[in-house]
Structure 1
Amino acid sequence: MKTKKNIVLIGMPAVGKSTVGNLLAQNIGFEFLDSDDLIQSKEQKTLSQIIFEKGLDRFLQIEERHVAGIRCQNHVIATGGSVVYSQKAMGHLGEISRIIYLSIQLDMLLTRLSDIKSRGVAVRPGQKIVDLYKERTPLYDKYCDIKIDCRSMTAEQVVEQAVTSLY
């Protein structure tokens, strides 16, 4: 792989970052890290509990702190969909990783992501999935090194595309 020590996956919730991340890590002999799991472990709460108890803005600060604190090599890191709101976290990830944006079309996202509250999706009161999509997709485009359109691909095909793009 070209120079960077890790691979980071960004994209909307339910796009398959964790599934693809696990498979990609196995494929290339890296370890796998899910930043949502890291946050939940460090905070001893689910993402939805953190958002409910502390509010969205505080959750985003917590996410930024934990993601900006990631220090590892030879890892595939699946991030939460909201990580792109933090320039600090994304700057850090960009320094230590190649960033792959797993892109999905809105219609497919709407079928995959039905319950944003229980999933712990970082969403403002009254904000809909469509609003999130329109707000976040330009940020994913801004921060990615590689963009993969996952529309009609299986997780295995996405991994194959990622490996081809990286090496």
Structure 2
Amino acid sequence: MEGEKKEHIQRPRSIILVGMPGAGKSTLGVMLAKALGKDFVDTDLLIQSQAGTTLQQIIDQQGYLHLRAVEESVLLGCQFGNHVVATGGSAVYSEPGMQHLRKFGAVVFLDVALDELRKRVTDYDNRGIARREGQSFESLFAERRALYLRYADLRIDCAGLSHNEALAKLLVALENYYQSPV
């Protein structure tokens, strides 16, 4: 009706980063949070804080499935109103966790090629990566990449990009995604 105000619906404005270990979620996340004036959260650190131990110690003492269960509990217990969230690489194994995160904003997959990840992740066996015993990095990559693509609202191809170049590409993609300045 004339003279009636239209209700403005605000889309969630958090940004959820997913990707393999070594993809740059934490590094780019801090840079992105600074660029956009948002809080930064690394869910791996939340898990370690809640558990009172490192990710690798959780795996060593209770197994990788226990780490995934703790991760899901942490994800479901968080509220991210205006954050950049760097998730653990295994967050995508939790359907409830990912659906919860999607409520807060765009899920962005930082896509890095396997050969580049291999160069970056030199501590695969003791980095605290939730994986089956003996699972190769290649197998983990193939398994997880399908999940990252499944949940991603945006995919950023980070091949050959510096952190600053990846950040610039990410900012443009987010602006286009939201069709307004983020």
Match in the other structure for 1:109? 117
Match in the other structure for 1:68? 76
What TM-score comes out, normalization by structure 1 length? Answer: 0.96
Report the alpha carbon displacement of residue 114 of structure 1 after superposing the two structures with TM.
2.2
Is 2:36 the counterpart of 1:28?
Answer: yes
Identical columns (%): 40
Is 2:50 the counterpart of 1:50?
Answer: no
Which structure has the bigger radius of gyration?
Answer: 2
Tell me the distance in 2 between the aligned counterparts of 1:74 and 1:161.
Answer: 20
What is the letter of the counterpart of residue 110 of structure 1?
R
Is 2:128 the counterpart of 1:129?
Answer: no
**Of 100, 113, 137, which aligns to 1:92?**
100
Q: Which has the higher contact order (CA 8 A, sep 6+)?
A: 1
Match in the other structure for 1:37? 45
| Root mean square deviation of aligned Cα | 1.0
SS of 1:151's partner is coil
Tell me the distance in 2 between the aligned counterparts of 1:42 and 1:86.
Answer: 18
What TM-score comes out, normalization by structure 2 length? Answer: 0.88
Tell me the distance in 1 between the aligned counterparts of 2:82 and 2:172.
Answer: 17
What is the letter of the counterpart of residue 115 of structure 1?
D
Runs of 4+ off more than 4 Å: none
Deviation by residue 1:111-156 (Cα, 9 ceiling, x = unmatched): 1112223210111111010000010001000000000011111111
Q: Is contact 1:48-1:117 (8 Å) kept? A: no
Is 2:152 the counterpart of 1:144?
Answer: yes
Runs (5+) with no aligned partner, structure 1: none
What is the letter of the counterpart of residue 102 of structure 1?
L
**What is the aligned length?**
166
